[in-house]
Structure 1
Amino acid sequence: MKLTHIIPLIFITIFSVSCSTDNDDNIVNELDNLIKVQNLSNDTHTIELYTTSGQFYTGYNTISVRIIDNATKSYIENASIDWMPVMQMPTMQHSCPKSEVSKASDKETLYEGYIIYQMTNTDGSGWSLTINYTIDDVEYTVTDTITVLQNELQNVSSFMGSDGKRYVVALIEPSNPIIGINNLVVGLYNMETMMSFPMVENYTLTLDPRMPGMGNHSSPNNTDLSFNSIDNMYHANLSLTMTGYWVLNLKLIDSENIILKGEDVTETNTQSSLYLELEF
């Protein structure tokens, strides 16, 4: 074969290998700052679950999902995904607040959503996760047990309101608190049934942050939490004047200005019965 024919073939081969490598690199880069929690598998696919910590904890969890075709070892880019977390209790079972699962922004193979586990067993057991998904109009499902560890701080609270309804309040932000004004984001959900936890809109959560270890002092320039229709969460300004352990005392007030849970912090009542915790 003439050299003039060999050289173009070499360039074609190099170009093809480079394109394949770049594509693999892009898939790997989609996992930046993510650690695999575990795989869920059936005969057809393997479902990869990722978080930033490599664990599930009580409270708010952002979870990333990828689907691998077991036969071709390729990642699925066009799936529709739904999930159902379930905790098995001795005499009953229940779910928890969760989002829809959608394609992560600017990602080819990664899907994303959140689950708020409101409780767990001391050893992390009790929870299972079912993922139902559709690829090219074909429906699949996979279920397996998962481990949910207890967070050291109370970042989620499940309680009965004075209206006889059960609610879940969860701390979402700040995930990295700073000294100064922080964007406080909280999710509020109603336990409609054992398996349904819709978001609660247009209530109010009053905010009174305190440092129990420092004379229970508060801080200036805080605002109460109000509903934001863009992300369906509750937002406020949280002022943290120093590092350490903080209790975010809350009162839940409905649209008719009725207090459903929580009390004012006073000299004789040092903490509300509705609160979340953070430490930095």
Structure 2
Amino acid sequence: MTCISCSKDDADDNTEVEENPMEDFSLLKEFDYDEHTLEVYSENNTQFEIGYTPLYMRIKDKVSEKYVENADLSLKPMMHMENMMHSSPVSPVVATDNPTVYTGYVVFQMPGNATEYWDITFNYSLNGTEFSKTERIDVVAPADGLKRVNTFMGTDETRYVLAYVGPVAPQVALNDMTAVLHKMETMMEFPVVEGYTVEIDPRMPGMGNHSSPNNVDLSYNGQTQMYAGKLSLSMTGYWKINMKLVDDEGAVLKGEDVTDENPESSLYFEIEF
């Protein structure tokens, strides 16, 4: 996301050519307004999918035809159901290394359908002027059908949203694993949960439900506001990452141990590679 110089015919007069910082990203939506064009990108997906969804945004000024720096931008997702509305976990939006590119994530808990749908309100401030734009989007289940988000009631009578973040490209190795954990305070507020533990027990159901060595449970990282640990994958194939959510006092809020009598936890992610 930088500028590079190139010369023509070895001439002394170099010209600055700006690289496209979104060249390797997929454009999910482009919204056209009177004053601006708002572009929304994904790094790994070609559509809005349920689960942890990082978004990258750019705002283009129609008068100057330049991308805007230092915009104060925020997101408000909303699910319109037949009898109610609710929001979802959403992060603050921050600028990337390129000051014209902004990023934040949304955790979509469910896909839309013919009668129920998601929209996102983009609120942004430029030069003291406030803008608010609401756009309907199509949120779908992942094509592979694998489970990457859990919405559940804990034993403490609190509703939680636990979503898989990575590894995005799992390998036969000890992988860095990350997830995000939010709780539903109201239908519109889903703050990050701090200081809990996500215990993991990855298994291969198609291979005798064997596990793998050297896994490290996920603990809270205050700097990233995510949960991080180590996921050991000893071979390629389908894995079920069984989990238990444990609060800061050691109480199990959701999930069970995997045993011969209980082959899977009620709290899990799925991956296949």
TM-score (norm 1): 0.88
User: Conserved in 2, the CA contact under 8 Å of 1:68 and 1:74?
Assistant: yes
CA gap 1:265/1:126 in 2 versus in 1, 3 angstroms: same
Greater percentage in helix = 1
**Matched residue, 1:267:** 260
**Matched residue, 1:63:** 55
User: Conserved in 1, the CA contact under 8 Å of 2:203 and 2:210?
Assistant: yes
Letter in 2 for 1:209: P
Aligned length in residues: 259
User: Conserved in 2, the CA contact under 8 Å of 1:124 and 1:149?
Assistant: no
- Alpha-carbon distance between aligned partners in 2 of 1:112 and 1:237, rounded to the nearest angstrom: 25
- Alpha-carbon distance between aligned partners in 2 of 1:166 and 1:194, rounded to the nearest angstrom: 10
Letter in 2 for 1:150: A
User: Conserved in 2, the CA contact under 8 Å of 1:191 and 1:198?
Assistant: yes
Unaligned 5+ segments in structure 2 are 1-11
Shift of 1:78: 2.2
**Matched residue, 2:242:** 249
What stretches of structure 1 move > 6 A for 4+ residues in a row? Answer: none
Shift of 1:221: 0.8
User: Conserved in 2, the CA contact under 8 Å of 1:124 and 1:150?
Assistant: no
**Matched residue, 2:204:** 211
For 1:10-49, what aligned pairs fall within 5 Å after superposition?
A: 18-19=15-16, 22=17, 25-26=18-19, 28=20, 30-49=21-40
Residue by residue over 1:81-111, the C-alpha shift from the partner in whole angstroms, topping out at 9 and shown as x without a partner, is 0110111011111111111111111x14211
Unaligned 5+ segments in structure 1 are 1-13
Shift of 1:195: 1.1
1:111 aligns with 2:102: yes
Letter in 2 for 1:251: K
Of 160, 169, 187 in structure 2, the residue corresponding to residue 167 of structure 1 is 160
**Matched residue, 1:220:** 213
Letter in 1 for 2:252: I
Greater gyration radius: 1
Greater percentage in strand = 2
**Matched residue, 1:258:** 251
Shift of 1:121: 2.6
For 1:48-197, what aligned pairs fall within 5 Å after superposition?
A: 48-52=39-43, 53-105=45-97, 107-122=98-113, 126-151=117-142, 152-197=145-190
- Alpha-carbon distance between aligned partners in 2 of 1:194 and 1:50, rounded to the nearest angstrom: 27
- Alpha-carbon distance between aligned partners in 2 of 1:190 and 1:231, rounded to the nearest angstrom: 17
- Alpha-carbon distance between aligned partners in 2 of 1:113 and 1:125, rounded to the nearest angstrom: 24
- Alpha-carbon distance between aligned partners in 2 of 1:190 and 1:35, rounded to the nearest angstrom: 30
User: Conserved in 2, the CA contact under 8 Å of 1:87 and 1:95?
Assistant: yes
User: Conserved in 2, the CA contact under 8 Å of 1:40 and 1:142?
Assistant: no
Percent identity over the alignment is 44
Bigger shift: residues 35-44 or 263-272 = 35-44
User: Conserved in 2, the CA contact under 8 Å of 1:203 and 1:252?
Assistant: yes
Letter in 2 for 1:182: N
CA gap 1:15/1:141 in 2 versus in 1, 3 angstroms: farther
- Alpha-carbon distance between aligned partners in 2 of 1:111 and 1:230, rounded to the nearest angstrom: 18
- Alpha-carbon distance between aligned partners in 2 of 1:189 and 1:138, rounded to the nearest angstrom: 32
